[in-house]
Structure 1
Amino acid sequence: MNNKTFNTRHLLATALVLASFLAGTTGLAHADTPIPPDVLKLAEIICPNGKPCPPIPAGAIDCTPRTGSTIPPQCNWKPGKGDPALEPPDFDLGDVPDMTIVVGAARTATSFSYSALIKALGEYASMKNFFFDYGDGTGHGSSANLQALTSFPTSHIYVQPGTYKVSGYAKFDGQTESATMTITVPPAKEPDPTPDKVTSTDWNPAKTPVANAVIPVTSSSSSATGGMSIGTGGKTITEATSLAPSTTETKAPVVDAKASQVVIVSVPSLPAGADVSAKVKIGTTWRTLPALEVDDKGVLTLPALTFTKAGTYIVKITVATGGTKYMTVKVKN
């Protein structure tokens, strides 16, 4: 893909149609061209230069016009292209439809729309060539884990108010292009009565982010342990406040949540302003949450979490200045 043209050659390696044509002719033996008797006697096809035509390679498509038969449709495809019915038209990057965001307040859903772009890309929107960075340490896919545009979540929950740079990436033939949006998320207690609608910039060449630069918002787990998503919106968003976290898993305080519903958990009694890292135990695997910071009142707010299966999930909180604390989310159906 160059700087200005979104070329379908970067989207799909098309089939090469082989045909034994000689320059200046549209066929090998035309019905209205007299065939000398000696040619019939030899029982072989002779090209217009009077010499036997080369054999058609194995697996190639025979595009020779013959009386009473129709040549395969592939013979009319442009070189290096696939079926024109399946090929999206080439278009200038300036004409690529925008992605749009309707910004919600903190702790509510911010909506994302890719429908116009998906429609423009057709079947190629379902190919794994894309990834997304929500600007809060989470993302959908990464440069090392490309995803289909059709799989992107249509909402995201920003727990903290502030300004976020949201970036969409497309990667083809080792080249990366990006479109960005800058959004300002208002505080939960001060929602905007007329939410901002932000559209993306033009797609332009970009430096490929390092592999796994963001925490994936979704993950797949075995049916036995269930799964957890981070920041994805839902119809029901609940909030829960834990007691002071414990220094051991066995004495960790418990908050309740429901399967497939979003829960935003606040954890008190931590060092004010401290940077922390947190992990959630899914089965036997610890899943990392994005980097967090304790507020000036000593309260840590975890990202919006959605658990797909009932169970008990331990949260391990490691304070950068030292010390590890635990709390538990008990999920019921």
Structure 2
Amino acid sequence: MYIQSEWFPSQSGRILRVLSIPCSTGEEPYSIAMSLLEVGLSSTKVHIDAVDISKHCLRIAQRGMYNKNSFRGSNLYFQERYFQPTQTGYQLCEQVRNMVNFIHDNLAAANFLAGMQPYDVVFCRNLLIYFNWATKQHTIKVLEKLLTQGGLLSVGHAEAGLLLNTRFTPVRYPGAFTYRKSTVSPVSLPYGNRNFAKSHRASDQKKSIPDKLSSQLSVNIETQNLVKDSETNFLETAKIIADQGKLDEANQLCQHYLSQNPDCAEAYVLLGQVQQAMGQDEQAAQSFRKAIYLQPSHQDALIHLALLRENQGDVGSATLLWRRIQRMQK
């Protein structure tokens, strides 16, 4: 969809650069290559780098030989068109294998893919969840640098909450959690409260929460003090905790805050994002719906709910939400 609707019209003269990490035994980057061929992109117009920390996986990937368990679903079109059956399995055709450049590297390393040109699309799904907080923050910044301006990052469902307060904004692609690298630098302000910065900038500096609070916060001890702060300080703190990967604590903070402030749409949006990152889809959907009930034009809540419904396969509900968002934008 992205290639046909966005990339082709404006970038057809360029080579599309794609990064797949981790690539494991090659299923993802090869599937990307075949999909690009199917939408009409020539193999000479595509550059795909596939990275993994396992040399063993890379050796398997470079062979391009797969057994029947690698093919899922009832549509075997790709298998019939791009694979040759052999006595030991299915051999991927040379054209597709030549489209993928396999690289041994570690995303957490300081010099990961140093000197590489930026990519138009990066697939990094279900890897960040295994890192500690410091490594997650480091790798997100690395992925941001590896993307072209306006480039797309695809992450796993459980990793969506890690992109809070970054330069990535969610975009609509069915069945995927995709984010665009924005031109706007992240700011430590709650969603939808940009006017607050103008009139309260000086007071914000006086009220800012000490750094040690975000790193040493204990929900049971500090919650009573936090709820006394302004809504801005509370949401900012909750986002910091969520960004650190302390999702349980962030969840409890949001729940406690909402028990005292049940009409705060921003808090419901943040709670929904945290719940989504925890894999609690239905709880997240309920939180987004509450935010929309309180503020019917809350675009972030509408977008998150639409993406969630798409990922669940509820195309009808997602379509209605996207139409509503389009009407608002007009």
TM norm structure 1? 0.23
TM norm structure 2? 0.23
More strand by share: 1
More helix by share: 2
Q: Which entry has the higher C-alpha Rg, 1 or 2?
A: 1
